[in-house]
Amino acid sequence: MIVTKKYIAKFTINLPIYRYSQLELTLYGESPNPLSQGLEFGRQMFKYQIKSSDILPEVKIVTPDTFEDYRGEMWTYWEQSYDLLPNGYDFKISKFTRSRKNVLRGLHGDNFTWKHITCVSGELYLVVVDYRPESINYLKWESFLLNDRNHKSVLVPENFLNGHLCLSDECVFHYTQSYPKKYVDVEEQTTVRYDDERIKIHWPINTPILSERDL
């Protein structure tokens, strides 16, 4: 009878998702150094894919791999190595909005702000519009379905508009912003109606709930 010796190592991996989060792993292997195997597993566990959108190439879609076990899921929304922003730009502020079903926010944008957008709860329909008059894609738009299961995020450049419609009973929209100098507040932003005839966006519903600003 051949007996294969099993080696055991317990260790933790610091995760970039939350500053103080750690993942505890127990690794069983046939190598006398299962810890090295485990560290390699940890490095590969949080891979991601970044691709340009089909219609608006300046817009990027980030799709992370997830780690899932009996406790739930874990994934990385962003880390510095993603290299999403142009040189000289850094993410400076992170915000959340909670909406109920059929609430539509947008279309909003400005000349300076980059936004990294995801949905952390529920499901939303995100629309991005190229609002650069000199662009060959001026007023072209693309839609993205973001939810708390696909974990996708979208990078929206400066001079683009974005708006989103809440599809679930409730959804939480998360966006991290980058701008060169100061935060661009509502008074300095561009607001365009969701049903602007120049753009002709297809929305899943005809009568969304709007704010006074978006009317």
Annotated catalytic residues are: 108, 175
- To which residue do tokens 């959340």 refer? 96
87: its two tokens: 């040189």
The Cα–Cα gap between 146 and 99 comes to 14
Q: How many CA atoms lie within 13 A of 37 on its CB side?
A: 14
Contacts within 8 Å (CB) and 24+ apart, 134-142: 137/55, 137/56, 139/198, 139/199, 140/55, 140/56, 141/55, 141/56, 141/199, 141/201, 142/53, 142/54, 142/55, 142/56, 142/59
- Provide the 8-state DSSP code for 103: B
- 123, 172 in Cβ contact below 8 A? no
